Amino acid sequence: MHQDVRILFTVISIIINVSGHPGYVIMPKGLCHSYLFEIIDTPVHPNLHHCKFKGNYSLYFHWWDRLMETGNPDYVKEYDRVQEKRFGGVRSCSINKG
């Protein structure tokens, strides 16, 4: 593997790791109502993993956990709770994501 590719991969991995573990949600209010919510992990994803120790093993893409059936069933509910606390009356994601 070329040295530049290894450096780029390392930098991207660090950015994703840091943005995924800040201890608070930095995602925009309406993210869960977009297709992007089905693909990427939000900071709620690793927080649930570190609190419950079961489920949510993917680091970059939420769809891996859905595919492997390792996602925490409370993920969307917890995301709703965090965003409600952050923004107030946000439209629930649970309605659309069951």
**What is the DSSP annotation of 59-90?**
SSBHHHHHHHT-S-TTHHHHHHHHHHHHHSSP
> For 79-93, how does the pLDDT look when each residue is reduced to its tens digit (9 = 90+)?
888 888 877 766 677
Residue given tokens 């609190």 in the structure block: 51
Q: Could you give the number of structural domains in the chain? A: 1
Helix, strand or coil, per DSSP, at residue 7: helix
Alpha-carbon distances of 52 from 29, 37, 40, 47, 57, rounded to whole Å: 25, 21, 20, 9, 11
Indicate the pTM of the whole model.
Answer: 0.65
Q: What is the C-alpha separation between 88 and 29, in angstroms, rounded? A: 10
By residue range, what is the domain housing residue 75?
Answer: 3-97
> For 13-66, how does the pLDDT look when each residue is reduced to its tens digit (9 = 90+)?
888 777 766 667 777 777 878 888 888 778 777 777 777 777 766 777 778 888
